[in-house]
Amino acid sequence: QQQVKQSPQSLIVQKGGIPIINCAYENTAFDYFPWYQQFPGKGPALLIAIRPDVSEKKEGRFTISFNKSAKQFSLHIMDSQPGDSATYFCAVVGAGSYQLTFGKGTKLSVIP
């Protein structure tokens, strides 16, 4: 079964727009929620992460919103740039498991 559902699969926004990527999870035992950015030919790079005791976290232009009761979390990219065009993955980690379970990814294209 798919433990993490990520949407949308692809997203096109204009430069300066605010793309939002959503993830929903099923298991309440997860305790770490990172987002990764991947460019072609590269490994995933950690962007930002949140723990379930916090509802929002900002780092630069990236913000995670976390809704524990709804079991959802989302990534917002402020003032998006063409250089942000990449595939974004959400992930979850269960307490004590050390295993990242990933969503299927969202391909973001930011057009000038």
Interface residues with another protein (CB under 8 A) are 31-32, 34, 36, 41-46, 49, 51, 89, 93-105
Nearer CB in complex with another protein: 62/102: 102
Minimum CB–partner distance for residue 10 and another protein (Å):
14
Q: How far is the CB of 34 from another protein (least distance, A)?
A: 7
Of 77 and 93, which CB lies nearer to another protein in the complex structure? Answer: 93
CB of 65 to another protein, least distance (A): 18
- In 3D, which of 4, 7, 26, 5 has the Cα closest to residue 107? 7
Among 16, 15, 19, 14, smallest CA distance to 106 is for 19
Q: How far is the CB of 17 from another protein (least distance, A)?
A: 26
Task: Report how far residue 88's alpha carbon sits from residue 41's, in angstroms, rounded to the nearest whole number.
Answer: 14
What angle (nearest 5°) sits at the alpha carbon of residue 107, between those of residues 102 and 72? 45
Q: Which of residues 17 and 87 has its CB atom nearest to another protein in the complex?
A: 87
DSSP 8-state symbol, 108: E
